[in-house]
Amino acid sequence: MWICAALGDADLAPLKAFQGTLNPAARFEIAPAPVELAKEETMVYKMTLAALIAAMALSPAYAADLCNDAHMKKMDEMVAKMTDAAKQKEATAAIDKSKAAMKAGNTAECMKYMDQAHKAMGIG
């Protein structure tokens, strides 16, 4: 036994004394099998989570975060730095429409044009 050679018999004396008292059957512990969800239950959780995320993304409360003066200012700054004139013109037109919708209080329309501006800028 290589452990005996490395440690020496004096170091292993307590282990040898204890070894005789072990029950070989007691070495193996029977652990409960892990509980796995059925595929149907897993799909229910995934579908519920997907529906929750979709509801959050499409709800006006979350969409309104981008329809504010601070975000519009940030968008204007980003458009000013664009080098592609055609995309810059497209993004500017979309932002102008988005600002008009924001001032009219139409969040859905504001987000529609904000999304178009993001796509023109290559970030959406």
Q: Which domain holds residue 86?
A: 64-121
Q: Has residue 109 been placed in a domain?
A: yes
Going by the DSSP 8-state scheme, the letter that residue 105 receives in this structure is T
Q: Has residue 79 been placed in a domain?
A: yes
Tell whether pTM > 0.75: no
Q: Has residue 21 been placed in a domain?
A: no
- Side-chain half-sphere of 117: how many Cα atoms within 13 Å? 27
Residues 66-103: tens digit of each pLDDT: 888 999 999 999 999 989 999 999 999 999 999 999 99
State mean pLDDT over 45-62.
69
Amino acid in the structure at residue 118: H
Q: Has residue 59 been placed in a domain?
A: no
Residue 106, judged by CB atoms within 10 A of its CB (0-12, 13-18, 19+), counts as middle
Number of domains in the chain: 1
Q: Has residue 50 been placed in a domain?
A: no
Q: 72: which residues sit within 8 A by CB, 6+ positions away?
A: 95, 98, 99, 102
